[in-house]
Structure 1
Amino acid sequence: MSQTVFITGASSGIGQALARQYAAQGATLGLVARRVEVLHDFVQTLPASMRSRCHCYAADVRSADSMRAAADSFIATAGLPDVVIANAGISVGTDLREPGDLKAFAAVMDTNWMGVLHTFQPFVGPMLARAMPGQPGGTLVGIASVAGVRGLPGAAAYSASKSAVIKLMESLRVEFSPRKNRPGLRVVTIAPGYIRTPMTEHNPYPMPFLMPADRFAQKAANAIHRGVRFTVLPWQMGIVAKLLHVLPRWLYDMAFARAPRKPRKPEIS
């Protein structure tokens, strides 16, 4: 039986790779991005038999009303999804010495963290109502990042937002996890390392274990299907993340004090 999957940030990068992966599995897709024309162009690259299963929505994850409208339209057209993937995100270098960068800090947090909440909120109630003991009502997937494990210099906004996503997903997992005689939802956190996407192509520093987006999507879809609570992709970055997590603060500070920084981009539309 084919799945119904709702994906934000589907116009490029990880979101588009996930959309292509699920389309190949015969899923019915709800694809969300601010630029709906890019979504339509992407759908035209899929085999003709898959295109009719794709429903595209122009919406901004920073707006709860925008996301509810997209969710309501998708539910009315395709039904309640089995999987909701909150993927939309932005990554920019920031410098707190620059007053203008405060807007970038706010935009990153609004997109990367509040955007997850805005994506999930319209679906949680109906999904829980659909759940039965032993059969979760659906799966919520949050795309976090290895950058959320420790704060990276020059990436304070991005690291903070992705750390918040990790903790948010953990809270939701405990809150909605099915229990004996209590219906619930699956909650999956996926923390990418370096994935080859437009977001990473201009990074001016080495990116160890760089993973193609299509390979990431295959691994991520498999983890979602299995209901894995938390996973880092590629797996090598999972080892790095665990080491970073336990590294003493003084040693971490010394090791990363002169780490290369992502270029600033204080103007975000």
Structure 2
Amino acid sequence: MNYIDKVRTVEKVYKRKPVLIVSAPGRADFLNTHQDYKGLPVVPVAINLRTYVFSLGAEKDKFIIDSLNLRKGGSRYRDKVPLKDISLVRGKWFGNYLRGVLLAFKEVFDFEPDKGLRIVIYSDVPIGSGLASSAALEVAFGKMLDEFYGLKLSPKDLAEACFYAENGICKIPCGRLDQYSAAFGEAILLYPKPPVKVEKLPLKGLKLVVADSGIRHSVADIHPRRQSEINRGLQELLSMPDVPERVKEKLAPRFDEVSWEELSLEELSPFLQRID
């Protein structure tokens, strides 16, 4: 379904014309998967599947947020979020990502709106496909807040706030890869270790094809598991008596405390095969 068809669908379902429409792309993790949360450089590439956020106008004292995808699937699809005293709800709920963005904007930008919005979300980015559907949702919603309330955020401001929403507020142990890709678009070289740096990469004449493996992927599920495996391996390395002290000085019991940029595969290789 193209953009025009989406607009017409929203108008048909809600009998109203959107007053503002924004979107953000999903992404392919092109180089260095699972390196961003270790603070190492990564290369994401935005794809042509996007999450669209439609505003149907202002609401007096709350945000009313519908997922048209969930509505069409016959699932619970509406979240009502008060302007004050926002909190996450228990369990897996799409509205928590948006509540997280609202809480992050309040904390980071002193965002205290005097009116809410009537929002409809319609997304092409498949959930659980490894294409950063949650980040596309967060960034598209954050961009809607930016445009509607005139916040004048830079792409970096938007990306960092949405990263904080997912990582710091929703407590999903992601890195910065997904939110920065959604906010900047195209292809970027991201240095995620603060102070964060972003370099645009040229894509002229290059065509990338992304295939669906059919394997479900959830950041909330796979990242804690992978990080736990890394921590376990680090602790085994630190316990080996023959690992040189100069190498141990670069290691740590936790993945986010290691001096990764100073380590080489050559100095670790003799010991890696002995890890269970």
**Could you tell me the TM-score, scaled by structure 2's length?**
0.25
Larger helix share, 1 or 2? 1
Larger strand share, 1 or 2? 2
Larger Rg: 2
**Could you tell me the TM-score, scaled by structure 1's length?**
0.25
